Structure formats: C-alpha cells, structure tokens
Structure 1
C-alpha cells in the first residue's frame, strides 16, 4: 500500500511538471511562421600557420510571425541558441518552432566547406623560418608575414566583393615595431596593427619587431561587403586640372617648336661664322707667314739705301758715275716691289673687312638673354630628355663664352683694318718717293751735272733715315700680326666648337620637339583618359550595388548581411598548473527531480 502510494505521488509530481508545457501547446497542427530577414556571421578558426581548422555559423533570423520556420545550410550539426526548442535537420533543410522576434541558432559546417580566401602565415626569427609551435617564449627579431590569396575552391562572389581588415596585436614592450602599408595605433598595453585588403586583391602583409619571451594572440581577419559608395563629384576638378596640364603640354610643344626654329637659325649663323672665321684665320696665317719675308725685304731696302747714302756722302770726284747709271733702275724696281706690297695690304684689308663683318654680325646674332638654372631645371622637369637638356645647356654656355670673349677683343679686331689702310698708304707714299728719286737721278746723270748729285745725296740721305723709321714700324706691325694670328687660332677653335655644339643642339632640340609632340599627342585626350581611369576604379572598388547572398546555402532568401570573422590560434607559453580538487557542484532542481526516479 505504501509502495503504491509512493508511485502515485511520483506520478502526480511528474504530471505537475509536464502539464504546463503540455497545456501550452496548441491542440491543432503547428502554424507556419515567417522570416523577414536573415543575417549570417561565419566564424572560422585557423591554426597558427593559417590552415583551416573549423567553421561554424551564427544565424540570426528576424521572425515577424511566430510558428514553424525553414532555413537551409550544409551543416554537420545545429544548436538552438535562443530557447530549448528542438531543431529538426534533414539534409540541408532546417525546421524549428520560433517565437516572434530574433531567433538565433548555430550551424557547424561540414569538413568540405572552404573559405573564399587562402591565408598563409609564416614566421621568421632572426631571418630564419621557424615553426609556430617553436616560437613561444623566444627572443629576437621576428617578422610575421600574412599572405592573402583567392581560394579557387571557395565562393568567388565573396572574394570579389568583400573588403578584408587584417589585425595583429603586439605588446608595447616589443621594440622597433614596423608594418609597411599598415596602420599602427595604441590599444591599451598593445600596439594594434591594421591592414586593409581591397576586394579581388591578393596581398602579402608584413609586421616585424624585436620581441622578448614571445607570445601572440593570433591574426584576426574581418571580412565585410565593400558597400561604401565612391562619390565621383570631386573628379570634375581633377579632369579640369588634367585639361590644364594638356594645354600646358601643348604650349610647351609650341614653345619647343619655336626654340627649334631659333636654334636652326642660330646653327646656320654659327656655320657662316665658322666659314668666315676660317677665311679670316687663313688670311691671318698667310699674312703672318709672309711677315718674315716682308721684314727681310724691307731690311734689304734699308741696308741698300744706307749703302747708297754712304757712297754718295764721299767725295764727288771719287764717285764712279757709271755705277750710278744702274741706280735709277734699281730704285724703280724697289718702288715696284713696294707697290706690290701696298696692293697686297689693300687686298688683305678688303678680305679682313669682309671676314670681320661676317664675324661681328654672327656673334651679334647670338642672343644675349640670360637663361637661369631654374629655367633649365623647369625644362628638365617638364618631361624633356635630360640628355637633350644637357646639350642645350652646354651649347648655351659655349655661345655665351664666345660672345663674352669677342666683346673683350673686339677693339683689337676693329683696329686691324685702319692699321692695314694706313700701312698700305705709307708703302704707296714711299714707292712714289722712290720713283721720283729715280727720275731725278736719271735726269741728273744725263746732264752729268755734279750739282745735281749733291741734291741726290741729300734726298737719298733723307729717304734712308725715313725708311729706317718705317722699317722699325713694320717690324712692330709684323710682331703684332703674329700674336694676333696665334690668339685668333684659339678663338677660331672656340667658334668651331660652338658650331659643333649648335649642330648637336639643333639635333637635340629636334628630338626634344619630336618628344614633346608625341607627349602632346598622347596627352591631348588626357581628361578623357583620366575620366576613363576614374570610372574604371569606381567600377572596380565601388561594390555598393552588391546584393548579399547566403554563404551556407543558395536556397536561403531575404539575406540582409553576411560577415566573416577569421582568427588564427594563439601562440602562448604553456604554464604548469597544479589541479586542485573541485568542490562537488550543488545539484539543482532538475537533478534532484531526476534522482527521485533512480
């Protein structure tokens, strides 16, 4: 009797426990619920090298009508995270009775699931590759390399449209923390290093530091849709700037064209200058070469006049008049020689005048304007060939040097022509005097009048004295001609070098003009090209029109967002922990209730 009473008590207690839940269930068939939207957060854990360990998904369903709902996913198992309701799983089909509001459940992906990205993490300690499990507690210079690449086995839609934020944390105690291309910020006791990988981009990220007793919380990767739109309104000013640049290049090309014309004219002028200078140089060399003969001939005339004067200075009775008969012919021959010298000096003066005029005109055509170093630097920065700019600069310097040198010796050149004219006149005068003397002497000898001989003696004495002065001047003149010829050789070498430089300059400026013409041709549509590149960049990185799709199953609808949280395992120093006996956990109501049936 007591046993039966106890059994009835147990049955009554069990009925009290289960009756409320039984009464809460509707007596008719379950109603169909409705899901307004769905969010998926994919959690993936990787080992320290980046190899995939496992993946699970937390699904958030926005239920606007309570009842039985359907969802889909390639799960190996599922777990209700909202209440104690059972979730039925049949293949990829998930069924559950869900209340109104947000309903959460976890789905563990099967082993065949692949992430859209391959992640490879390598570690270098003091330049040597080290396995992650051997790094804990190490000291030295550490370099962590994270390689992000497309996983062709995964769903490419996420690779093409998702932006990745890769984060690493290192303690502030580490020294020399560097992360090229990454942003380093203080985060409490750590330095937070963050990299950004654009959609569809494969990238290798590096961070390095001097570490001590190394530990690492791992690499964290957050992947979200790149839904930030790119506003193209500001690109109009950029296109305008490119238009101004294109116009400036056109002006540069036109200016180089004018420069090419000017340099061509300059080169023609320097070529004429070189030709005239060569003629002048040859004439000077001929004149200098004949100076010795001229001086020797003049010395012979001087000595002959001195000898005649000495002979006539003796007693008249002792003079052999038969010898004097030959003197008028000799004097006339001497006069003829002086006439030839005078004619030669006149021809030299005319040739010199022409050569000097050509030289003076060509050098005066060399522009006197100063081109500054800043202007040459500006030309070099404009995109011109540096070699051509250097040639232009060297030719400009040479032309200015020639112009400055000519300015210094111009007075000497100008004095040559009057000197030649004066010298020619003096020689003509002496030739006339000799002819007059010869005629007088001939008449006197015909009359054999000794009184005429006295007059002849006086004339010869005067002529001998004046000719001595003339001969001294002639020697000084020929010395000056020799120095002038020697100095002019150096000037002529400079003119030849100038002509060679302007010729190279003309070729260089021609190449420069060809280059600027090609540059203008390629940049004439620069604004259009710029806009095309902007449109291309926008189409490549603006994913604002991307419609979210489910990662777990293509059958899911109303997907509002899908995000990825990926993390590698930590590298930690193992601690020796002594286990303590845990106190027996106090049993709750359910455990006590179940004990009643044991």
Structure 2
C-alpha cells in the first residue's frame, strides 16, 4: 500500500515536471520558503527557497469547476523546514513519506536539499476566468449528455470572461490556450475561425489563443456521426513575447518608412497648396467668364428687342407701302380720263378764245352746255384730290407710327459681329436684308424729299377746282345775257383760255409723273417687302443667338459652379493635408514610443508572479494553470461478467492524474 502511494506520488511529480517543460516555465527569482540550516547557527543568512505552482482544475462539460488542486514545487539549496500557505481541504506529500503539518492555513514540512513537492486540494472553486461551454445540434441548443452519440451539424462555443472574485493580475497577464480535440473518423468539415488546426494521429487538434485582458468567444463547427469528444484542455501561462519574436530591424524599417511617409506627405501638402492657388485662379477666371457671358447675353437680348422693333416697323411699312401702291395705280388709271376731260375743256376754251373776234356770231347754246362740263371736271378733280389726300395721309400716318431710323456704323458692326456665329443660311438672309434695307432707306429719303411737293399737288388741285367752278358760275351767267354784252368778256375769255392751256399742259406733265411713279414704285414696294422679310429673318437669327447666349450663360454658370466646387474641394484637401502633414511629423516618434510601450507590455518585463494559493507566499517564480473538462462519451453498457483489470503502465497511471 505504501509502495503504491509512493509510486503515485512519483508519477505526480513526473507529471508536474512534464507540464512545466511543456508550458516552458522560467525561473524569475528567489523562492518563498523558510530554510532552517546549520549556517543559521553560524550567523550566516540562509539562501532563499524558490517556489513554483501548477494549478490543476477539472471542469464539467459546461465549464463549471468541479475541483482545484495545486502541485507546489520548491527548490531547496539546503535541507531544512519549508513553510507555505493556502486554504486546503486535503494535503499529500508527493516527494517522500514525511508527514505534512497543516495549521491555520500554514503548511510545514521537513525537506531534503533539492526539489520538494506536495499537493493541496483547494477549498475555493474560483479560477481567474469564468468559463462557459455551450453545444448545438443542427442549430438548436443541446446538453452534452444528449449530444453524445448524436449525428448532425455539431456546434461548440467556449466563452471566457474575467472572474472578479480572483486577483485580476492573472486575467491581465496570462494567455489562455484552449485545445479541442476531434476524432476525424467521426467528424468532418471542421470549421474554426481564428484557430490553429493540427493533425495528431487520427485526431484533429483545434487550438485557440486568448490574449491577456481579452474575453474569448471560441467557436467550432463540424459534421458529426455518432459524436463523441475528448475533454477540452485549457492551459494558462504568463504571456511574454520574447525578443526573438520582435525583430528590431523590422521596427527600424517601419519607423524609417514612417519618416519617408511624413516627408512625402509634406511634399504632397506643398503641391496641394499650389493646386489650391491654381484652383482659386481658375475659379476667378470662370467667374469673370460668367460675368462676360452674362453681359454678352444682355446685349444680344437688347439687340433682339431692337431687331423685333425694326421687323415690326418694316412689316407695317410694307403694309402701308402696299396701300400707297394701290392708290398710285388708281391715280395712274384715272389719268387718261382726267386728261381727256381737261383736253376737251381746253379745246372749248380755245374755241371761245378764237370766237372772241366775232361774239355776234357766237353760238350761245355751246356756252350754255359748257358750265355743266366744267362742273363735271371740277367734281372729277375734287375726287382725285380727295384720293391723293387720303393716300398721302395714310402713308404719312404709316411713316409716323412706324418710323424707320437709319442704323449707325457701330450698330451695323454689332449686328455683323453677332451674325459671325450664325449659320450660313442666316448670314445669306442677312446679306439680302442689308440690300433691302438700303433700298428702303433710299425710298424713305426720296419720300421725305417729295412729301412737300405732294402737299403742293393736293393744294394745287384744290385751287384748280375752285377756279373751274368759278368759271362755270360765270358761264352760267351768260345764259341770260345779250350777245352784244358779251363783247366785254373777250379779254377775260382769252385770258382764261391761255391760263387753262398752261394748266392743261401742267396737268398732263403731272399725270405722266404719276404714271411713271406708279411704274417705278413697284420696285420700291418690292424692296420694302424684302426689308420686312429680311428684318423678320434677322430677328429670328438674333433670337437664336439670344437662345445660344442663354445656353452659353448656363454652361458658363455650370462651369463656374464646378470650378467653385473644385476650389472648395481642393481647399479642403489642402487643409486636410496640412493637418495630416502636421500630425504625421510626430508620427515616427509617436510610433516608436508606442512600440516601446508595446514591447514592454508584451515582454512583461515588469511582471512579478504572485501565488495563486495565498498572498502570504513569497519568492514565487512561476504559476501555471492546467484545466480540463469531462469528455463527451456514450454511456457504456455494463457486462455481466467482471473483466479482469488490465495492468496499468507508467503512462496510463500518469494520465489518470488528469
């Protein structure tokens, strides 16, 4: 019995040594036990004893702690008594058969020089981490017992969080390594994000790492058939990124690259400032262009208003010119009748003149008929006078209501400049318009020159009518006169005949002038009609130019708006690069400072291990945690016959400890 116990103790010591080797334990300082040595009697200070702790804990399938026991190891430079502290429910000497003394939480024992081990089962069931394990089958939660032997899509989630009931130094300084072992003969399509997968025989080991001060959420999914699983193992050791993990040369390259980045950003900032100035100049130019196009558009609009007025006046002038042409045609048509009637009167007067030599032989019957012919002539001339007066008045009203003003050289130049961008058809119409315009202005000047003569013509016809009616009245008086009394009228008749002969000749010349004017005015009327058509064409062309100017203004406005946005964007870019340049100048030094802080943190140079079992323990050089959960297996059917117990080897006995 004692031999078996000693063998068990030796296997536990071997297991502790193996776990220490696996987890890479490192000696940090002197131990924490009191050494009673002979040197004490010689008044020489005894060497200190260093202590190591390996904390073992078994968990159920949900991660709940079932028990915690600690293997305490001491390095004694001399034989003597050790003292250690902790709240234990059970103690066992793993080194020899010497008894352990436990009183008031203090463990004491006599130990030989070298290594000494003892195990203590802790009263507390609190670990530095709270661990929760959940399972799903085909997406639905399931218990571990129900999952054993099941088939389908299996999901496993391990949650690790800080346990506030335990000293936080373990949570802040220790790294967790969680290993889940799956049998590939029953598990396929294993998926585990952020995990390392490795083959171990027919098993697949899925290993997660949870960094210090971090909560862990570890998930594994697999397609399983008749599912079983070994226990999950969790190891916790102080995290330390050794100097071999941090390449100083790479860090130097990084800081050199940051210096180059800062220099490049500085140059980029200079270019952005220049671009900002150029964008501002561009925006100012587009603003001036917009203003210039706006003035051009306003000028084109005003020119269109003038062209519309000219076109309207030319249209009315064309209408009045048509009426004037019609009146001239009527006057020309009546010229022959007027001249015939006037010729007969002239013949009668010439006969009267010839007959003044012998008034006694004068036929008074002819004189009696003469007044009526003169009155008819006066009526015809009065009608012609009224027609002329109406025609001339209509033409005057048309010219007064729609005056046609001469264009200046500057105005003609503006129109020609505006037509420079017009279509070839519009330019051809403009050339035709200018020819018609010159013809119209020639007619206008001719009309202005002869308008006074036309008034004299109308007034002269009125005077002639009055004279003819006076002669008719006098001749009517001759009806009751004695022929002898007519001799006194001889001089008057001769004078009247001579005057009327001159009048008849003037009337003939006037009527011929009317006929010639009627023939020639057709060309003038055609020119006025062409002027109306041309002014309408140029008004339409200028209208299109105005529309084009409006579109050009819209385009200039859009260009100016885009230039303004570009200027604002470039300004913001330049300001941002200025800020970036200012901030990145400090980046290399700041980055080096942060890297130094990170190196200090991850190398844990300032970390001093403390005892997990009791704060009274001193000179602790290493504390490690080894946790394991129950395996998931199907319940075995007990055989009626008791099988002979297989003889256990050393390794089997070692594994029984876990």
Q: Which TM-score applies when normalising by structure 1?
A: 0.68
The match for 2:208 is 195
Residue 440 of structure 2, aligned match among 402, 415, 430: 430
User: Which one of 142, 151, 158 corresponds to residue 139 of structure 1?
Assistant: 151
Q: CA deviation at 1:236?
A: 0.8
Is 1:575 aligned to residue 636 of structure 2?
yes
Asked if the contact 2:197/2:207 (under 8 Å) is kept, the reply is: yes
Aligned CA distance change for structure 1 residues 309 and 96 (closer, same or farther; 3 Å): farther
User: C-alpha offsets along residues 216-273 of structure 1, whole Å, 9 cap, x if unaligned?
Assistant: 2233222122221555534413532552474367357536733662464256336525
Q: How does 1:101-500 map to 2 (within 5 A)?
A: 103=115, 105-112=117-124, 114-172=126-184, 173-229=186-242, 230=246, 231=248, 232-240=251-259, 242-244=261-263, 246-247=265-266, 250-251=269-270, 254=273, 257-258=276-277, 261-262=280-281, 264-265=283-284, 268-269=287-288, 271-272=290-291, 275-276=294-295, 279-280=298-299, 282-283=301-302, 286=305, 290=309, 293-294=312-313, 296-308=315-327, 310-311=329-330, 313-314=332-333, 316-318=335-337, 322=385, 340-343=404-407, 411-412=421-422, 423=433, 426-427=436-437, 429-436=439-446, 439=449, 448=506, 450-451=508-509, 454=512, 457-458=515-516, 461-469=519-527, 471-472=529-530, 474-475=532-533, 477-479=535-537, 481-482=539-540, 485=543, 488-489=546-547, 492=550, 495-496=553-554, 499=557
* CA separation of 1:277 and 1:585: change in aligned 2, threshold 3 A: closer
CA offset digits 1:331-377 (Å, max 9, x no partner): 7777777863444x9787677689x6xxxxxxxxxxxxxxxxxxxxx
Query: Which digits, 9 at most, give the CA deviation of each residue in 1:136-177, with x for residues without a partner?
Result: 122333332222111121122222111222222333343443
Given that 2:265 and 2:580 are in contact with CA atoms closer than 8 Å, whether structure 1 keeps it comes out as no
Seen in structure 2, the aligned counterparts of structure 1 residues 180 and 236 have a Cα distance that, compared at 3 Å, is same
Distance 1:292 1:567 in 2: 106
CA RMSD of aligned residues (A): 4.5
- Provide the C-alpha distance between the structure 2 equivalents of 1:519 and 1:351, rounded to a whole number of angstroms: 50
CA shift, 1:422, in A, is 8.0
Q: Please identify, of 438-447 and 194-203, the stretch whose mean Cα deviation from structure 2 is larger.
A: 438-447
- Offset of 1:505 from its aligned partner? 6.7
Q: Which runs of 5+ in 1 are unaligned?
A: 1-28, 357-408, 587-598
User: What corresponds to 2:59 in structure 1?
Assistant: 46
SS in 2 for 1:412: coil
2:349 aligns to what?
Answer: none
User: Cα distance, 1:478 vs. partner?
Assistant: 1.6
Kindly indicate whether the alpha-carbon contact (under 8 Å) linking 2:317 and 2:399 is maintained by their aligned counterparts in 1.
Answer: no
What's the offset of the Cα at 1:301? 4.0
Q: Does structure 2 conserve the Cα–Cα contact (< 8 Å) formed by 1:55 and 1:109? A: yes
Matched, 1:564 2:576: no
CA 451–228 in structure 1, closer or farther in 2 if over 3 Å, else same: same
CA deviation string 1:187-227 (max 9, x = no partner):
44333322222211223222223333222223322212222
**Counterparts in 2 of 1:56 and 1:336: CA distance versus 1, 3 Å:** same
Contact 1:178 1:209 in 2 (8 A): yes
Displacement of 1:506 in angstroms is 3.2
Question: What is aligned with 1:543?
Answer: 604
Q: Structure 2 vs 1, CA of residues 473 and 216 (structure 1 numbering), >3 Å: closer, same or farther? A: farther
Q: 1:206 to 1:145 in 2, by over 3 A?
A: same
Structure 2 unmatched ranges of 5 or more: 1-35, 40-45, 339-380, 461-504, 648-658
Q: Alignment partner of 2:437: what SS?
A: helix
Alpha-carbon separation, structure 1, partners of 2:112 and 2:645: 36
CA contact (8 A) 1:69 1:96 kept: yes
Cα pair distance change 1:527/1:64, threshold 3 Å: farther
Say which SS state the counterpart of residue 552 (structure 1) adopts. coil
Structure of greater Rg: 2
Count of matched residue pairs: 501
